[in-house]
A and B are shown apart, each in its own frame.
Chain A
Amino acid sequence: MNLSINQAYADSMRFPLFGATALAPLHRYDHAVEKSSIIQAYLFGDITNGLVVVQPLQINIEQDEDHTFVVDDDVFLVYGNGTDQSEAINDYVISMIEYYRLLEKNAATNPFDQRQFSYLQTYIKPKTQRGYNAIQADRD
């Protein structure tokens, strides 16, 4: 089983995803989904130039009544949606990056956000100081 993790970017729709049960890459999961079923997978590795998921984060992939897809996690309650699974996962990752930045921004003034941000950083961290600087530059 090949479990190599590739560099992935939020705008490329390529993320290191692994099935929850067998840790198998979900290359063909779009053929495996049935209506009303939930697929669980793990997000792990680089999610953008500056951020990396350092602890596997379980995500749920579910199809809605209109055949669009919803992706979420049960830890931070962040979700993404899209017309297909790739789009929904991409939207989830972008939403998670935004959530990271919102918490980071408010952590200095709100103790709840500070604690939540600390907890989020057990899952997601800046890859390097250089990556962190890139995030800050992007924000500015």
Chain B
Amino acid sequence: MPYKPIEIEGMLKTKLRMSLEEADHTWFRLEIAGLPPIRTKVPNHKGDIRDKLESRIYKQLRVKKPFFHGLMDCTKLLADYKKQVREDPYPPFSVLIM
């Protein structure tokens, strides 16, 4: 079942403890020591987030779909997320930090 933007925002704020960044869109930021800041944007609309759009969000979070769904469905915690992006970020940070 597709998630709604408000559900994803809730997960980012409460579970991942991401902070809001000032912009017209809703941007979230998480700093993990030794890693580049993780930024993600949540769409402004209120409808369901479909597969293609959802994939852009978990890509920005550096995880794959099953892990993202684990975060959304409460089988993954903040500690799991930090471990995941430290050990196996996807896509890897090296793609961006040249």
Contact = CB atoms under 8 A, between A and B. Distances in A.
Contact of A77 (B23, B50, B91, B97): B91
Interface stretch (B6-14, B34-42, B68-76, B77-85): B34-42
Contacts of A119: 96-98
A116 B36 contact: yes
Interface stretch (A22-30, A107-115, A124-132): A107-115
Contacts of B23: 98, 101-102
A64 B53 contact: yes
Contacts of B52: 62-65, 70
From DSSP, what is the main secondary structure of chain A's interface residues? mixed
Interface residues of A, number: 27
B94 to A, nearest CB: 12
B55 to A, nearest CB: 8
B56 A72 contact: yes
Contacts, number: 67
Contacts of A62: 52
Given A98-B25, A101-B23, A102-B21, A64 B51 contact: yes
Interface string A50-78: 00000000000011111010101001111
B90 to A, nearest CB: 11
Contact of A66 (B24, B48, B59): B48
Nearest to A98: B23
Contacts of A75: 96
A135 to B, nearest CB: 14
Contacts of A64: 50-53
B39 A66 contact: no
A41 B67 CA distance: 30
A9 interface: no
26 contacts: A64-B51, A64-B52, A65-B52, A68-B50, A70-B52, A70-B53, A77-B56, A77-B59, A77-B91, A77-B96, A79-B53, A79-B56, A94-B25, A98-B23, A98-B24, A98-B25, A98-B27, A99-B39, A106-B37, A110-B37, A112-B35, A113-B36, A113-B37, A115-B97, A116-B97, A119-B98
Closest 9 interchain pairs by CB? A112-B36, A79-B56, A64-B52, A98-B23, A64-B50, A65-B50, A70-B52, A66-B50, A70-B53
